[in-house]
Amino acid sequence: MVAIWSICLGNLRRRKVQNSLIALLLLLSTLLINTALTVISNSENLYEDLHRETKGSHELLNLTKGQHDPQRVEEWWASQKGITASVLLPYKPLAGVMHHGEDIPNLYIYMMNTPDRPFGTDELVFAQGKEVVQPEPGTIWIPTSLAYKNDVSIGDELQFKAGEEPLRLTVSAVVIDLPQGGPFSTTARIWMNNTDYQHDLNSVPGADSYLMGIRFDDYSQRAGYWERFESFLGTPFMEERTTYEQISAFYFIMNKIIGFVMSFLGIVMMLVALFTIGFTISDAILSNYKTIGIFKSLGLSSSKIIYTYIAQYSFLSLLTIIPGLILSRFLSGIIIEQSLSFLKTDHSPIHIQGGGTELIVGFGILLLILLCVLLYASKARSIQPMQAIRYGMSEAAHSRITKRWTEGHKRVKEFERWPVPFVIGLRNVTKNLKGSILMVILTTVTSAVLVFGLVLLNSINQMQETSPLWGYDSSDVALMVVNNSTFNRESIEADIQADPRVLHLNWAGPAIGVVPADKTQSSGSTGNHSQSVSIPLTVVDGSLDEIGFASLSGRNPHNRNEISIGINISRQLKKELGDIIELYIEGERHSFTVTGIYQSIANMSNQARVTADAVNKLSTDVGYINLKNSADAGEIVQQLNDKYGSSIQSIKQQTLLDSVFKEAAAVLLIPMSILGLLFLMVTCLIIYSTCRIHIRKETKTYGIYKSIGLTSNALRGAVTWGIVALSAIGASLGIICGVHLLPSLLRGLLSSYGIVKLPLLMQWTGITLLALLIMAVASVGCWIASRVIRSTSPRILITE
């Protein structure tokens, strides 16, 4: 045992650089893998814990069209066993809110008449401010999604466009509003005092709308409840209905993307670490072949020699896995705090869980390392003491080298016509084949990480260029109707169409389409509990083509009996182009032919588009303006806001997209930057270590080169250019992986969110610069490692 520990400690002392590098790889792979798993599991756990604590609803009913009696609906659900139903929550919709004199864009407001708490479901959690039963007169509660994103604090005044004069209310509390306050939400519930609601919103036209939450004791039984409920109504439920999957999805999407990238790269880094361990053990056995033969001749068994390597790498693993797990908690905390900031309160910070996950990850990584060490260290079994002492290698290997040396003299003339630096660089690469493969793999992975990160962030930042493929329009300016009482469509339309800068103007509004229960039985269903499907509709008065809506297949609807459906509706209803869909709209049954299928990140593609002929009366809430020159958008926005600011809010499309997706870019920026820097650092260090090992092996050869007149810098340059050529190959492969392979894997993740064709924008200038950066990092690592050549003197030949 003493001999084993002596050899183990000797290996650790002699190979400090290699051991340090392997330790770093193990640390980083542990960090990435555990961080990815912690981020993914904690995102769901934090949401589900809060959903359970607040009695979060599994379905949210939005009664806006007057198709059903709200009291009757509430009474039925409240009377059901196994159901927790909220009280009816009256509200009036608005669009248009100002903070510090500036409009908050792309935000629809539900002005809630706050009932006495508790509500029954979706209880509010106070993130900031004093918890009271109702807001005080003149004050409001706002959701964290509105407050944190727009830097609204307690005591700030918000102005709402609710009539001729704006309604001014002061923020007294910030609350977590689980069903309506998630990431990328464009809707916010503003909780008002009952007296303020009755007095200040009288001027807002229309009757109250109602929200109602439903929570099932057993979520799997919801289909049976809906079958009985619609039997009670005598018709399908014809109002808007939001499911648990739709409510919760966008709380997880960013962390799923980050977790996917980190877990994939962590696994890749672990494979690199295992390859490096195998390469190092093989190199150590070959370098110490004679020494191992002497150990065996002295009575040390093969098993004990193998145990020395197991002990060495067990020590390194424990030295790195434990800190990696600890560091992953901090990194996970940063990512989760940023991506789930809407669930954070001042008095209850987000707590990271995952002790069990850490143990499994740590044990799994240790087991992989030991299996790898055992596999490669077993090569020591084949060492024969006599051959090792005589040849310093096996007799067969000695014969092969002798044969290659003889054949090499015959091939010398083939290289005489090539420049000497080229031949030296090529020889360095081909003779160190395993190390060269490792460098190509590393530069490929690093390039793929950097290119994928650049492409993804660039695509989000430049989303205006691909907005139709994300389910949005491609117009230049959007007009949001913020005050129906003062909105005069004919006047605004005449004014806009008279402007010579305007190319097209089209209007749109919302509606709800309901597929009857007998049409929605899914595959695998027994048919006992089929239920209706509520589909949000975009109803367009004008041309969907002019607005810029795109389809994955088919075309936009042009006629009254045509419909374009989201990809997830197509999957759920099993409808393709040319199929017939029957929908209830405004209580009337319609038959539509599917003319197009599209993807949309909004509503997870659970939506559809029809023309205004399909409804009796369009409730216009947005207008789309296309300009002859998009550069005029800013000027037109300003003019329209100055003239019609009391009834509409005019916004550039880029502003609307930024209000949603700048948040995604900000969340992705930190982890992608960290990953890029880590891989650059690891690539540089591994290339340095690998080159250093090989150069030290070839000390005699470089001494010969010096004796015939080659300078140290000439030799270093030749070796470096060989590594640069390798890194160029790796960077090229990495670009292919970063542009095609990683996005295709990400598409599989986003498919459930309604995105099956990832709209990416290639930034070839940036991609080229990243490839050059990889090559520069590789050359720096090699150049630093080649410093040993300067100390190589031809005198060693005399010594030899």
CB-CB contact of 468 with 546 (8 Å): no
Q: How far apart are CA 505 and CA 174, in angstroms?
A: 39
For tokens 């409009």, the residue is: 103
Q: How many CB atoms lie within 10 A of CB 405?
A: 9
Tally of helices (H runs) and strands (E runs) in the chain: 24, 23
If residue 779 lies in a helix (H) or strand (E), which one and from where to where?
A: helix 764-785
What is the residue type of 26? L
What is the residue type of 324? G
CB-CB contact of 205 with 25 (8 Å): no
Per-residue pLDDT at 172 exceeds 60: yes
pLDDT the model gives residue 294:
67
Confidence at 288, pLDDT banded by 50, 70, 90: low
Q: What are phi and psi of 755, to 5 degrees?
A: -115, 110
pLDDT the model gives residue 417:
58
CB-CB contact of 125 with 143 (8 Å): no
Average pLDDT over the chain, rounded to an integer = 81
pLDDT the model gives residue 524:
39
Q: How far apart are CA 125 and CA 110, in angstroms?
A: 18
User: Picking from 111-115, 168-172, 295-299, 664-668, which range would have the lowest pLDDT averaged per residue?
Assistant: 295-299
- Kindly state the tokens that stand for 655: 């502003």
Q: How far apart are CA 761 and CA 316, in angstroms?
A: 43
pLDDT the model gives residue 522:
43
Q: Which residue has the higher pLDDT, 583 or 387?
A: 583
What's the burial of 458, exposed, middle or buried (CB within 10 Å: 0-12/13-18/19+)?
middle
Torsion angle of C-alpha atoms 60, 62, 68, 71, degrees rounded to 10: 70
What's the burial of 780, exposed, middle or buried (CB within 10 Å: 0-12/13-18/19+)?
middle
User: Picking from 68-72, 174-178, 339-343, which range would have the lowest pLDDT averaged per residue?
Assistant: 339-343
If residue 157 lies in a helix (H) or strand (E), which one and from where to where?
A: strand 157-160
Confidence at 538, pLDDT banded by 50, 70, 90: very high
Q: Which of 789, 781, 741, 587 is nearest to 261 (CA)?
A: 741
Q: Which of 598, 649, 261 is nearest to 450 (CA)?
A: 261
pLDDT per position as a tens digit, 361-378: 888 888 988 888 888 777
Which stretches of 382-527 are DSSP H helices? Answer: 385-391, 395-411, 420-431, 433-461, 489-497
Q: How far apart are CA 435 and CA 683, in angstroms?
A: 12
Q: Which residue has the higher pLDDT, 502 or 424?
A: 502
Q: How far apart are CA 355 and CA 729, in angstroms?
A: 41
Q: Which of 208, 204, 22 is nearest to 113 (CA)?
A: 208
Residue positions counted in the chain: 800
Q: Which of 539, 526, 510, 584 is nearest to 233 (CA)?
A: 584
Q: How far apart are CA 435 and CA 213, in angstroms?
A: 61
Q: How many CB atoms lie within 10 A of CB 177?
A: 28
Q: How far apart are CA 740 and CA 715, in angstroms?
A: 38
pLDDT the model gives residue 300:
66
- The set of residues, in sequence order, having a beta carbon less than 8 Å from that of 72 and lying 6+ positions away, is none
- Round the CA-based radius of gyration of the chain to a whole number and report it: 34
Residue 118: asked if its preceding bond is cis (omega within 30°), the reply is yes
Q: Which of 675, 763, 666, 674 is nearest to 264 (CA)?
A: 675
Q: Which of 155, 181, 180 is nearest to 169 (CA)?
A: 155
Q: Which of 667, 657, 632 is nearest to 503 (CA)?
A: 632
pLDDT the model gives residue 521:
45
CB-CB contact of 352 with 255 (8 Å): no
What's the burial of 583, exposed, middle or buried (CB within 10 Å: 0-12/13-18/19+)?
buried
Average pLDDT of the residues in 651-656: 85
User: Picking from 17-26, 216-225, 307-316, 516-525, which range would have the lowest pLDDT averaged per residue?
Assistant: 516-525
CB-CB contact of 667 with 460 (8 Å): no
Per-residue pLDDT at 452 exceeds 50: yes
pLDDT per position as a tens digit, 748-788: 878 888 888 888 888 889 899 999 998 999 888 888 888 87
